[in-house]
Amino acid sequence: MIFKRFITVGATICMLLASAVAGAQSQSFRIGKNLEVQMNVLREIALLYVDSVHIDSLIKESTISMLGSLDPYTVLIPDDDRESLEMLTTGSYGGIGAIIRKKGNNVLIAEVYENSAAAKAGLVDGDEILRINGDVVTTLPLDECSARMRGNAGTDVVFEIKKLRSGDTLEIKITREKIHIPDVVFHGMVSDSIGYIRITGFTLGGAKDVRRALLELKKDPALKKVVLDLRGNGGGLLDEAVEIVSLFVPKNTMVVSSKGKFKQADIDYYTTQEPVDARVPLVVMVNSSSASSSEIVAGALQDLDRATIVGTRTFGKGLVQSIRDVGYNNRIKITTAKYYIPSGRCVQAIDYSRRNEDGSVGYIPDSLITPYKTLNLGRTVYDGGGIVPDVVVAPKEYSRPAIALIYAELLHEYSIIYSKDKEKIALPSEFSLSMQEYDAFVEWASGKEFDHRSATKVEFDKVLALAKRESVYSGTKKEMEELGALLDKSKSEVLNENREEIKSLLEEEIINRYYYQRGRAEIMLRNDIQFDKAKEAALLN
């Protein structure tokens, strides 16, 4: 009987192996067949297509399209795009540390990074670039100008610059450096007892920056709460996220698990170091642009009942990517696993292709959501699409004219004009435009082109056009003209009616000219209703 059972089991194993081999052979055959068809198609195109065709580009585009059909995160990194790979993994690149923009044919410095080669060479926002390595830039596309500014660290690039403040034309040689955009853009005490850390990425070594910021905050004996701001943070390296969580939870705490098609992708990530502070009350701020590693940090701290999460639902990216070499210095960033935070839930949105305009997760039916429990307090949390905050707070909504000023780059342009005659201004915590200074901006902006209509006026114009098309205008002409007159305001009227919010936005731009992104991050907290709620949540912790 045992012998018969052995034969039966053996026969079953043989059948399964034969089936697996046949399946593998069948798949290999299908792949080979389709590749042969593709090669034949490309040969016919090269020989017979009526217009000239760049076959290399055609193949590259087809590869990009193929990867794009899988998910938004599986992409080709071509051999000529090493900068993207370096930025993706380290947050660094070789260059001078400046962003440029075009105004007409002129190329202007739009922003200089703090402590960069450009900053050390004395370049400021508003300086005009006339030549790069002897070549006039007025006829060059903006991306070509940027490409000429970048290069290997240690190499030189020569600029001819017309200085903003003096008007002098100078030749300036700058040695390119490894430009690293730090993950911690700003940290400091933002009240008598609350410390704040703004984290914008998860690049190599970023967790050490967070550790340093936290240790510096802890030097203040008044520190009683900490706010981590992950809003707008699109993620990065998973290991860095684990290291950041480890700052606040005990050693050997499980933070996240990845599970994929192959066993090698199944990894449990635990904290490996003693925490800096496992007891300080903690608040984490998130929004619809907080994704991937941001969601690991926020979700793990929520699942472990270690932090209060404040803001809006996160992006919902629960996928892990790996970078693989595919030959000839080309690489692909490919989704190899999903990650699961301590409660067991995955934050991946059920359908990442359908989202709201702001990128946030759309409506998810209750039938597609599974409840989970936090590990210590047993609170209910859900999967199916991002991290839902413990305290939901919508961001401030700006008026349509304020948004129009941003898109027209008028706030940025005026901040350059403002800084032209002022080498120094007050610190971000103290700076404020006077009434006379804002009035000067109103006078200047009133002569510029931007759509200053309110949202109400825009909708009224639509109704008016519809009324005229449907021949109902004649009967309501008087009323519509009266309402239109009330809504039809001059630019100066609109700029004064929205004075407080436009003034705060202009102050942010001006501060950025003097104190870089660090100063902007600090001054933005003044009118941040989500941050106000985060401080309240911290006080309740």
Q: Which residues are catalytic?
A: 292, 303, 317
Cα–Cα distance, 252 to 446 (Å, whole number): 61
Distances (CA, A) of 291 to 347, 357, 387: 10, 16, 9
Q: Is the dihedral of CA 123, 129, 131, 132 positive or negative?
A: positive
> Can you tell me which residue has the tokens 């940025």?
412
Using alpha carbons, select from 310, 303, 311, 285 the residue that is nearest to residue 383: 303
Q: Which residues contact 127 (CB under 8 A, 6 or more apart)?
A: 108, 109, 161, 162, 163, 164
**Token pair for 251:** 């050693």
Amino acid (1-letter code) at residue 217: L
Cα–Cα distance, 515 to 523 (Å, whole number): 10
Distance of CA 19 to the CA centre of its chain: 47
Question: Residue 156: beta bridge partners?
Answer: 175
Cα–Cα distance, 293 to 265 (Å, whole number): 17
CB contact at 8 A, 290 and 232? yes
DSSP assignment of 65-82 equals: HHHHTT-TT-EEE-TT-H
CB contact at 8 A, 442 and 411? no
Cα–Cα distance, 124 to 111 (Å, whole number): 7
Q: Is the dihedral of CA 78, 81, 87, 90 positive or negative?
A: positive
Cα–Cα distance, 349 to 206 (Å, whole number): 26
Query: Quick check: helix, strand or coil at residue 463?
Result: helix
> Can you tell me which residue has the tokens 């950041």?
244
CB burial class (10 A; 0-12, 13-18, 19+) of residue 193? Answer: middle
